[in-house]
């Protein structure tokens, strides 16, 4: 039996902390260092880069990080696996070789390709299938020191190295599923070590100022321990791991190209300070299709924010809205989509001008640039001396900018040519999995017995429940969890879909699906369509739904007094 594989993460997105790679290589022992650079929005950005220069399309930051760290990784025997290849993994692999030659560091570089399905979707700017970890495993089996990929699943950056290390095959589904869960926990970097964490209050400044990046110690049976390097900031506990498990997931079945992991089987145990054991994960055959992320240019958008200060805010908003609508109506072409939103951040008798001001936000979209450019800027700015008292805007509108639209498609997995391009240049096709299983939601687990009736107090949900939210295309997910069995007995019965819609009125007319995960004491809500056509379309004020969970936590409802008292008795629960 091989010992545990120590896998670290040094990037949760394109633009994450630049010096994290060096910190992880010097901060403690590692076998593999991963970096996640891709997201739906990133693929759009890289697609626009590729339009300007076909030789680009990859994350340029990765090469600059390697310039400082490639020799260090080689010296310490750490393999580097990253999806920084984006739309051009072969080009990035060549760039790594050129860098290694210049630095005089002898490394073997490989890459994974086959995810680019642009020829099948000619009207898309980018079209990329989400591949699994088998291509990464093939590259590592062939002796690669650095593996770069295009669009693989985020978890594949961990499950691929684990499969290579332990020799797992497609039949080792429980082990693969355990590695996928570990990969999902690691993929967003410091979100697993206290970053963006609902229960941050009461933690020390040392913990919160600069969280260290996470490490997973993966064992041969697929279990793992989530931790971080000694002496780094942040903290790892059952709560931080739970929060990340719920991030951008939905129900009990977490489907991937290699295996479907059952999130309803995950067992979390605090093993010691900054050490959480993840065990019990069961795996099932993956679905017969692969997800494809499509990015298209949706048209052009522009916005202007009017500042309404002091008295008569509603009347001021009505006046300027009528004036702008009238001006746009008299223009040669009115924008196809016009959206107004009044944000009442003002308060009576405010001690500052900013505190006395509300914001009226106008967003326009059109397939062509002119209606959202000159037409809008003229309509808004020409009112400067003839509108409501105190007229001004936060910034003058520009000429408009292109925006993107994200869509998910699905293709039969056998039609995608997944290829590992080995260090010597050999092209090794990745064999497809033998068995597949059509993805279906399992039967809903039984609810726990409700709490006995007792006194309640009107208070914010967040006093007893944590939340983390995020985007998946045009949908948002909101994971909500609690830290005690009694709180779970209350939450499971109280936070129904109807109550969720009541607390978040923006979801009132939308499809909302609730998933129960009793072993995590958690509910996961999927709000269908709240983000329009995805983050790049900027359909709402918070286009990635990052704050949606915190809004939910801030809403008031009747909470059992015993739960509130238990919460007040300790600042940080284990």
Give me the mean pLDDT over the 534-544 stretch.
80
Q: What is the mean pLDDT of the chain?
A: 94
pLDDT in tens, 414-444: 999 999 999 999 999 998 777 899 989 889 9
Give me the mean pLDDT over the 534-549 stretch.
84
The CA-to-CA distance between both ends of the chain, in Å, stands at 33
pLDDT in tens, 127-153: 999 999 999 999 999 999 999 999 999
Query: Quick one: pLDDT at residue 570?
Result: 52
- The phi, psi pair for 190, rounded to 5°, reads -70, 0
Q: Any residues with CB less than 8 A from the CB of 568 and at least 6 apart, and which? A: none
DSSP 355: G
pTM of the entire structure? Answer: 0.93
CA–CA distance, 367 with 403 (Å, rounded to integer): 10
Residue 83 reports pLDDT greater than 70: yes
pLDDT in tens, 368-427: 998 898 778 888 888 999 999 999 999 887 888 888 999 999 999 999 999 999 999 999
- Three-state secondary structure string covering 104-164: CCCCCEEEEECCECCCCCCCCCEEEECECCHHHHHHHHCCCCEEEECCECCCHHHHHHHHH
Residue 16 reports pLDDT greater than 60: yes
Residues 393, 395, 399, 405: is their CA dihedral positive or negative? negative
CA–CA distance, 161 with 151 (Å, rounded to integer): 16
| pLDDT above 90 coverage of the chain, percent | 85
Residue 549 reports pLDDT greater than 90: yes
Confidence band, pLDDT 50/70/90 cuts, at residue 569: low
Residues linked to residue 79 through DSSP beta bridges, in sequence order: 32
Query: Quick one: pLDDT at residue 543?
Result: 87
Confidence band, pLDDT 50/70/90 cuts, at residue 270: very high
Q: Any residues with CB less than 8 A from the CB of 5 and at least 6 apart, and which? A: 31, 32, 161, 162, 165, 166, 217, 218
Residue 573 reports pLDDT greater than 80: no
Query: Quick one: pLDDT at residue 261?
Result: 98
pLDDT in tens, 471-491: 988 999 999 999 999 999 999
Asked if residue 526 lies in contact with residue 515, where contact means CB atoms within 8 angstroms, the answer is yes
CA atoms within 13 A on the CB side of 521: 20
Residue 574 reports pLDDT greater than 70: no
Long-range Cβ contact pairs of 48-51 (< 8 A, separation 24 or more): 48/125, 50/87, 50/88, 51/125
Q: What is the DSSP string of 409-465?
A: EEEEGGGS--EEE-TTS-EEEPPPPS------PPPPPPPPPPPPP--EEEEEGGGTE
- 215: its two tokens: 């490490």
Q: What is the DSSP string of 213-257?
A: PEEEEE-TTS-EEEEE-TT-BS---HHHHHHHHHTT--SSEEE-S
Query: Quick one: pLDDT at residue 1?
Result: 64
Query: Quick one: pLDDT at residue 205?
Result: 82
Of 442, 500, 447, 440, which is closest to residue 469 (Cα–Cα)?
Answer: 500
Of 264, 269, 283, which is closest to residue 516 (Cα–Cα)?
Answer: 264
- 256: its two tokens: 């991937």
What strands, in cross-sheet order, belong to the sheet with 427-429?
Answer: 267-272, 275-279, 224-228, 214-218, 5-9, 32-35, 79-82, 146-149, 109-113, 419-421, 427-429
pLDDT in tens, 160-201: 999 999 999 989 999 999 999 999 999 999 999 999 999 998
Give me the mean pLDDT over the 321-340 stretch.
89
Query: Quick one: pLDDT at residue 374?
Result: 75
Residue 251 reports pLDDT greater than 80: yes
Query: Quick one: pLDDT at residue 238?
Result: 97
Confidence band, pLDDT 50/70/90 cuts, at residue 572: very low
Residues linked to residue 215 through DSSP beta bridges, in sequence order: 8, 227
pLDDT in tens, 345-361: 999 999 999 999 999 99
Asked if residue 77 lies in contact with residue 6, where contact means CB atoms within 8 angstroms, the answer is no
Q: How far is CA 435 from the centre of its chain?
A: 29
Give me the mean pLDDT over the 258-265 stretch.
97
- 360: its two tokens: 């009226």
């Amino acid at each position: 039996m091989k010992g545990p594989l120590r896998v670290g993460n040094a990037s949760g997105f394109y633009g994450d902390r630049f010096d994290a790679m060096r910190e992880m290589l010097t901060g403690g022992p590692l076998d593999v260092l991963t970096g996640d650079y891709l997201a739906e929005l990133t693929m759009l950005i890289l697609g626009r880069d590729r339009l300007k220069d076909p030789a680009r399309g990859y994350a340029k930051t990765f090469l600059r990080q390697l310039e400082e760290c490639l020799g260090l990784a080689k010296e310490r025997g750490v393999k580097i696996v990253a999806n920084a290849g984006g739309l051009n993994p072969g080009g990035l692999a060549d760039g790594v070789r050129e860098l290694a030659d210049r630095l005089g560091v002898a490394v073997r570089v490989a890459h994974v390709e086959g995810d680019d399905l642009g020829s099948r979707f000619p009207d898309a700017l980018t079209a990329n299938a989400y591949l699994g970890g088998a291509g990464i495993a093939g590259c590592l089996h062939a002796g690669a020191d650095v593996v770069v990929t295009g669009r693989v699943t985020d978890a594949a950056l961990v499950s691929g190295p684990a499969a290579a290390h332990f020799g797992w095959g497609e039949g080792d589904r429980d082990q693969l599923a355990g590695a996928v869960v570990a990969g999902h926990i690691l993929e967003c970097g410091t979100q697993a070590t206290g970053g963006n964490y609902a229960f941050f209050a009461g933690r020390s400044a040392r913990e919160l100022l600069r969280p260290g990046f996470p490490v997973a110690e993966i064992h041969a049976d697929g279990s793992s321990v989530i931790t971080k390097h000694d002496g780094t900031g942040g903290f790892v506990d059952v709560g931080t791991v739970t929060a990340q498990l719920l991030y951008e997931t939905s129900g009990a079945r977490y489907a991937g190209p290699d295996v479907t992991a059952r999130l309803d089987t995950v067992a979390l145990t605090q093993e010691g300070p900054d050490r959480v054991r993840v065990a019990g994960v069961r795996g099932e055959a993956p679905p017969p299709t692969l997800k494809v992320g499509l990015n298209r240019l949706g048209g052009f958008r522009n916005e202007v924010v009017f500042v309404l200060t002091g008295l008569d805010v509603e009347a001021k908003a009505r006046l300027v809205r009528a004036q702008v609508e009238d001006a746009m109506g008299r223009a040669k072409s009115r924008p196809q989509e016009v959206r107004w939103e009044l944000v009442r951040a003002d308060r009576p008798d405010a001690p500052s001008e900013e505190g006395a001001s509300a914001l009226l936000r106008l967003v326009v979209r059109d397939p062509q640039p002119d209606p959202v450019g000159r037409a809008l800027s003229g309509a808004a700015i020409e009112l400067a001396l003839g509108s409501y008292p105190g007229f001004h805007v936060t910034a003058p509108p520009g000429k408009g900018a292109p925006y993107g639209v994200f869509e998910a498609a699905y293709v039969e997995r056998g039609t995608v040519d997944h290829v590992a391009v080995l260090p010597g240049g050999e092209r090794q096709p990745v064999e497809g999995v033998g068995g597949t299983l059509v993805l279906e939601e399992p039967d809903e687990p039984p609810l726990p017995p409700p709490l006995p009736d007792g006194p309640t107090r009107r208070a914010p949900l967040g006093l007893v429940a944590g939340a983390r939210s995020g985007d998946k295309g045009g949908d948002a997910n909101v994971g909500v969890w609690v830290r005690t069995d009694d709180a779970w007995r209350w939450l499971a019965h109280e936070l129904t879909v109807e109550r969720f819609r009541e607390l978040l009125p923006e979801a009132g007319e939308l499809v909302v699906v609730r998933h129960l995960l009793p072993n995590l004491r958690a509910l996961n809500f999927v709000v269908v369509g709240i983000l329009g056509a995805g983050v790049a379309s900027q359909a709402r004020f918070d286009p990635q739904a990052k704050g949606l969970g915190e809004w939910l936590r801030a809403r008031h409802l009747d909470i059992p007094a015993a739960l509130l008292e238990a919460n007040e008795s300790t600042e940080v629960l284990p």
